Chains A and B, each alone.
Chain A
Amino acid sequence: MASSPPIEIDDLTAGYGSNIVLEGVSLRLEEKDFLAVIGPNGGGKTTLLKAILGIITPLKGDIRIFGETVGNGLRKIGYVPQRGNFDSSYPISVYDVVLMGTRVMKGYSPRYSAECHERTAEALEIVGIEDLAEYSLSKLSGGQMQRALLARAMAGRPDILLLDEPTASLDPHIKECIYDSLRRINKDLAIMIVTHDIGVVSTHVKRVACLNKNIIVHDEPLITPDMLEMGYHCNVELLAHGVPHRTYGEHDHD
């Protein structure tokens, strides 16, 4: 199975009841890939994540993680949720949050093993938040919280990292720091992020895909006019603000 890509999605159709949110979506995440999936709200980004994480079952099509079914492959994925999808006021220390990332090794045994604790320390170090270990999660700033969740995802020693809106509502400087960490991590594993923050995306990732029920994948970190057309029905000026040169690449229509 060495040749199987980290994630392979083939002709995926998914939705809720009669409401089809994704239709005929095919996507490959390659080894050491750094893919950003962008798209408008309601374009199906969250649904795509839910399908990969096995929270919803596809209506049609297939998702493979290193050639395995979602159920079996899931343990190879580290997931960083969007703020608001977990209880940020929960009474818990950063260390215990990161420790959760090693639950897969623990199974239903009541205790985390010494190895789980080692991996937790290692993950805190990779992300550079050793000094925050004893802090309460609820006392952290937005950027620190994002790092704690990134460390949690890394503690499971994943082969794939999935991030949902990793830099939403963060300062530009903090955003840069998070992307620096991600680029470092990207040397060893494949990363897929889902975001509507396209300003940051094009300067940091290797490939971009635009999702709005259907998908357009581009093998360069460029956001093309047809992506914008499909995704946003063009408010180009607003979208291009801050990164005008990278946003519009030369692009021949084929």
Chain B
Amino acid sequence: MTDWGMVLSIGLIQNMFLATIMASVVCGVIGTYVVVKRIVFVSGGIAHTTFGGVGFAYYLQSVYLVSWFTPMIGAIVFAVAAALIIGSPRINKIVREDSTIGVLWVVGMALGVLFISLTDHNVVLVRSYESILFGNVLLVSSQNLQVMAVMGIVILSLVAYLYRDLQILTFDETQARISGINVTLMNILLYVLVALTCVFVMNIVGIVLVIALLTLPAAIASMFSNDLRQIMVLATVCALVLSFLGLVLSIEFSIPPGASIVLTLAVFFMLSLGIKSYHDRGAVVSKAERD
């Protein structure tokens, strides 16, 4: 049996739980927009592009010794650039949006591999592919935590301020346009928020598994509520409880935390699906009986 008193007194473990709390709130809110606007693929593209940024940061650090350009900052730069490219109306006129996303996705990954191979591993300590892609929440440093806190505040205040307009945008773009919203700019802003969220989450579950924390809680919540705000709250609670459960399971059974969190979320997603479909069928049957 794990001695939890001892485990929780370790600084890195505390960081891990703090990072998870912050990520849950941000994912609950932004993930809800991702799910209702059906831009899961956009998020996937942006998330994978960050790998290029991580590699780029290592490379810069090894060649130019710019130690302030951390992998997280590299990831932010690449993710935001990807968001701007995907939202660019000029590019969308020529190529379909999902094609652009596909290109960014693979180019980001390839650049990551290229830059990491060019990096002098004697100068810079490069994390393993495994921990970058599939996460190692034990590696969240206090400095990362500070950057995350700032990003979290920026993301949440922007959403609080633009909540109503984002609601119109994600519901009906034509209405958004004729009621004076700059739809192109607002879409790009939403993509940038998604990009920042992806960077946020990659610290916890790794690049490949970002989509899980971003979409699964909101997808679960949207089965049980028909109100955007309520879905956000439910999704946050869901993300918080399930990722904590995942972390506890990972420590208890010594399995990688990223995989453990994702699978915990997935199990609850399937459970909810089962409950919901059973409940809906019940509702149809009882309505038929009434009629």
Residues of A participating in the B interface, judged by any CB pair closer than 8 Å: 53-55, 74-75, 77, 79, 81, 85-87, 90-93, 96-97, 100-101, 103-104, 106-108, 110-112, 136, 138-139, 152, 156
Whether A136 contacts B175 in the complex (CB less than 8 A), given A96-B167, A110-B163, comes out as: no
The reply to whether B178 and A53 form a contact with Cβ atoms under 8 Å apart is: yes
A91 lies within 8 A of B231 (CB)? yes
B256 to chain A, nearest CB (A): 34
| Residue pair A103, B226 in contact (C-beta under 8 Å) | no
Q: Is the CB of A92 within 8 A of B163?
A: no
In the assembled complex, how far is the CB of residue B272 from the closest CB belonging to chain A, in whole angstroms?
15
Which B residues are CB-close (under 8 A) to A77? 178
A–B Cβ pairs within 8 angstroms, 16 of them:
A53-B178, A74-B180, A79-B174, A81-B172, A85-B172, A91-B36, A91-B226, A91-B228, A92-B228, A100-B172, A101-B179, A103-B165, A111-B164, A112-B164, A139-B226, A156-B179
Interface pair B165/A108, CB less than 8 Å apart: yes
Are B226's CB and A136's CB within 8 A? Answer: yes
Number of A-B contacts (CB under 8 A): 80
Residues of A with C-beta under 8 A to B180: 74-75, 103-104, 107
Judged by DSSP, the binding face of B is helix
Q: When chains A and B are docked, how far (Å) is the Cα of A86 from the Cα of B171?
A: 6
Whether B164 contacts A106 by the Cβ 8 Å rule is yes
Q: Which residues of A contact B162 (CB under 8 A)?
A: 108, 110
Is residue B50 contacting chain A, with contact meaning CB distance below 8 A? Answer: no
Residues of chain B at the chain A interface (Cβ within 8 Å) = 36, 160-165, 167-168, 170-172, 174-181, 222, 225-228, 231
Most buried by A among B160, B162, B180: B180
Contact A91 B225 (CB under 8 A): yes
Contact B174 A85 (CB under 8 A): yes
CA distance A240 to B34 in the complex (A): 47
Q: Is the CB of A87 within 8 A of B172?
A: yes
Are B171 and A100 in contact (CB-based, < 8 A)?
yes
Q: Which of A54, A93, A100 contacts B168 (CB 8 A)?
A: A100
Give chain B residues whose Cβ lies under 8 Å from the Cβ of A53. Answer: 174, 177-178
Name the residue among A86, A91, A100 with the largest chain B CB count within 10 angstroms. A91
State A110–B188 Cα separation when bound (angstroms): 19
Interchain nearest-CB distance for A166 vs B (Å): 15
The answer on a CB contact under 8 Å between A103 and B168 is: yes
Residues in B with CB closer than 8 Å to A138 are 226
Contact B164 A93 (CB under 8 A): no
A91 to B222, CA, bound (A): 8
With A91-B231, A92-B228 as contacts: A79 and B222 at CB distance below 8 Å: no
Q: Is the CB of B177 within 8 A of A87?
A: no
A117 to chain B, nearest CB (A): 13
Chain B residues, Cβ within 8 Å of A91: 36, 222, 225-228, 231
Within the complex, the shortest CB–CB distance from B53 to chain A, in Å, comes to 31
The 4 closest A-B pairs by CB, nearest first: A103-B179, A136-B226, A86-B172, A91-B226
Closest to B162 in A: A110
Contact B171 A87 (CB under 8 A): yes
Q: How many whole Å from B275's CB to the nearest CB in chain A? A: 18
Collect the chain A residues with CB atoms within 8 Å of residue B181's CB: 103
CB contacts (< 8 Å) of B176 on chain A: these are 103
Once the chains are docked, how many angstroms separate the CA of A95 from the CA of B177?
20
Give Cα A35 to B174, complex, Å. Answer: 22
User: How far apart sit A251 and B259, CA to CA, in the bound complex (Å)?
Assistant: 75
Query: In the docked arrangement, what's the CA distance between A53 and B172, Å?
Result: 14
- Would you call A92 and B227 a contact (CB within 8 A)? yes
Closest to B168 in A: A100
In the assembled complex, which residues on chain A have CB atoms less than 8 Å from the CB atom of B228? 91-92
A106 partner residues in chain B, CB cutoff 8 A: 164
Find chain A residues with CB under 8 A from B174 CB: 53, 55, 79, 81, 85-86
Residues in B whose Cβ lies below 8 Å from that of A93: 226-227
Cβ distance A115 to chain B, nearest Cβ, rounded Å: 15
Please give 6 more A-B residue pairs, beta carbons under 8 A apart, in addition to A91-B222, A92-B228, A103-B180: A53-B177, A86-B171, A87-B170, A91-B231, A103-B168, A103-B181
For residue A139, which residues in chain B have a CB less than 8 angstroms away from its CB?
Answer: 226
